[in-house]
């Protein structure tokens, strides 16, 4: 059985008018839940608006004074006029429907105000939204919602975009497999960036609150400050402080014309800052915190380009008494940054984050995605090609060509390249602890030549067996590096 919902409306005749100076006037929907009238926001500031129980959900034009009036003219046009319509008045806004055969108007119980030719709608507020979308209202391509200096629109690509002043992009929708970051507005207006967790495991609902409470108690220069969170039903929201320069990937994987290129000094400071932040999570907190999703998109930059690790939506806690081994029921992270032990279904330790950091460090040096395959890298996975160039002594070949014109400290570059290769070793036991990574980047002690990193797809079965047994030669390497 199908139930039809009738949409009832009262017709408004051409020649009808509303005046800001007469607050009792309104055009109402049949249920009186919606009304079109002038609302007063301050002493001499008014808006012509469709209201729902006192809440404005559509506005005609902008702010006006008490001399304003809204007219439904006999030619079918709807006009917002400031001043006298007959003499000095000026049209602030209009529907541009004159001469289209419009014979009546109505405000429906859906909240839609319609100009009609007979029984057929010619112009509607639903087709011309301002700052609100109502149930049953379609939001189609090229429609724009405006709130102050913010613009929200549906692009022809199918993505939704939020911009400030029609220039600064705060958010563009995209497919994600873990979390996404959204900047709603600027800190001067009191709102903050929000991370929305789209991966949900009902078994983790209770630990989620405990983890957020733990993360919110962390305080470090290189961690984004967690302002608050929401856990409702299947939805998880994390609210972070606002950082002006956005995420690191916007600076690394783009052309010179699209974005300002980071010079080597800033890149090295960012790499060091991220290492310090992960060290704090792993070694200086009461519980060892595994981030599980270290990647450039989750590294935010403040106005001075200081790095802040963000997006703890996938983070897990390890008890300090058992912080080296932890089994997890689902793979967490992003393709290209996952440690091999995830694929081999082996115990996950803090060394998984070390692997991810190594890949990020290599990207900071090169300005290229670690999983990129191109003719420039002889059609090999970039990390493997980079090691071959390192073996040949061609360190400059690994560095982002966009920074080579600057004063690049090649000693720092070589140190960073070697550290990255130690971090992406397939055997977790060969990867250094993050505290050791910080020391190596700071130039404390010598860095031994790293062995070649194996491709993640090579010999997973053999890796699963060998990963739990460290050979005597590996023990010697570990001892010389003092990794643990």
Q: Which residues pair with 49 in a beta bridge?
A: 37, 59
Choosing from 109, 180, 293, 407, which is the catalytic residue? 293
Q: Return the closest-CA partner of residue 277 out of 269, 165, 262, 235.
A: 269
Residues in CB range of 66: below 8 A, 6 or more apart: 20, 21, 44, 46
E-assigned strand segments in 305-464: 307-309, 316-318
Q: Give residue for tokens 């010619």.
A: 122
Do residues 350 and 326 make contact, with C-beta atoms less than 8 angstroms apart? Answer: no
DSSP conformation letters of 111-167: S-EEEEETTEEEEESTTS-SS---TT----TT-EEEETTEEEEE-TTS-EEEEETTT
d(CA 197, CA 180) in angstroms, rounded, equals 7
Distance CA 308, CA 298 (A): 8
Distance between CA 414 and CA 324 in Å, rounded? Answer: 30
Residues 6 or more apart in contact with residue 246 via CB below 8 angstroms: 183, 300, 301
User: 3-state class of 435 per DSSP?
Assistant: helix
Residue 362 CB contacts under 8 Å (≥ 6 apart), including other chains: 370, 382, 383, 386, 417, 420, 424
CA–CA separation, 419 and 403 (whole Å): 20
Nearest to 417 by CA among 370, 365, 351, 350: 365
Contacts of 193 (CB under 8 A, 6+ apart): 181, 182, 183, 184, 239, 240, 241, 242, 243
Give the strand pairing for 193-197 and 226-232. unpaired
Residues 6+ apart with CB under 8 A from 348: 290, 325, 326, 327, 328, 339, 341, 342
- Distance in angstroms (rounded) separating the CA atoms of residues 466 and 472: 12
Q: Tokens in use for 299?
A: 């590294």
User: Is 446 labeled as catalytic in the residue annotation?
Assistant: no
Over its C-alpha atoms, the chain yields an Rg (Å, rounded) of 30
| Sheet architecture: strand order including 55-64 | 27-28, 34-42, 45-52, 55-64
Catalytic residues: 293
């Amino acid at each position: 059985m199908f139930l039809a919902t009738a949409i009832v409306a009262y017709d408004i005749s051409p020649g009808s008018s509303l005046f800001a100076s007469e607050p009792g006037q309104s055009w109402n929907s049949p249920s009186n839940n919606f009304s079109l009238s002038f609302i007063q926001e301050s002493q001499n500031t008014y808006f012509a608006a469709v209201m729902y129980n006192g809440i404005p959900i559509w506005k005609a034009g902008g702010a006006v004074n008490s001399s304003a009036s809204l007219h439904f003219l006999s030619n079918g046009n709807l006009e917002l006029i400031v001043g006298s319509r007959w003499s000095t008045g000026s049209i602030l806004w209009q529907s541009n429907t004159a001469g289209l055969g419009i014979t009546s108007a109505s405000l429906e119980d859906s909240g839609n105000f319609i100009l009609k030719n007979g029984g057929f709608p010619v112009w509607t507020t639903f087709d011309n939204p301002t700052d609100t979308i109502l149930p049953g209202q379609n939001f189609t391509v090229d429609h724009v919602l405006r709130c102050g200096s913010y613009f929200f629109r549906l692009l022809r690509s199918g993505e939704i975009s939020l911009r400030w002043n029609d220039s600064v992009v705060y958010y563009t929708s995209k497919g994600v497999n873990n979390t996404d970051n959204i900047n709603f507005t600027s800190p001067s207006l009191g709102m903050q960036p929000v991370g929305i967790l789209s991966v949900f495991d009902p078994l983790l609902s209770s630990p989620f609150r405990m983890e957020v409470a733990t993360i919110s108690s962390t305080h470090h220069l290189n961690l984004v400050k967690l302002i608050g969170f929401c856990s409702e039903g299947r939805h998880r929201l994390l609210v972070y402080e606002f950082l002006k320069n956005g995420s690191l990937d916007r600076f690394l994987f783009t052309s010179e014309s699209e974005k300002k290129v980071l010079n080597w000094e800033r890149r090295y400071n960012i790499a060091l800052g991220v290492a310090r932040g992960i060290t704090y999570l792993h070694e200086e907190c009461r519980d060892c915190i595994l981030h599980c999703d270290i990647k450039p998109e989750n590294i935010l930059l403040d106005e001075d380009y200081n790095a802040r690790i963000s997006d703890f939506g996938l983070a897990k806690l390890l008890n300090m008494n058992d912080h080296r081994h932890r089994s997890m029921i689902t793979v967490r992270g992003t393709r290209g940054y996952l440690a091999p032990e995830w694929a081999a279904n082996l115990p996950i330790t803090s060394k998984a984050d070390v692997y991810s950091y190594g890949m990020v460090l290599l990207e900071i040096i090169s300005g290229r995605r670690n999983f990129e395959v191109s003719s420039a890298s002889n059609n090999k996975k970039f990390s493997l090609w980079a090691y071959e160039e390192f073996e040949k002594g061609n360190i400059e070949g690994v560095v982002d060509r966009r920074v080579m014109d600057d004063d690049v400290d090649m000693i720092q570059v070589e140190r960073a390249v070697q550290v990255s290769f130690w971090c992406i070793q397939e055997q977790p036991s060969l990867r250094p602890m993050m505290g050791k990574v910080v020391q190596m980047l700071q130039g404390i002690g010598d860095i031994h030549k790293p062995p070649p990193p194996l491709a993640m797809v090579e010999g997973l079965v053999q890796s699963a067996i060998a990963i739990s047994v460290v050979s005597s030669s590996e023990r010697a390497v570990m001892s010389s590096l003092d990794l643990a």
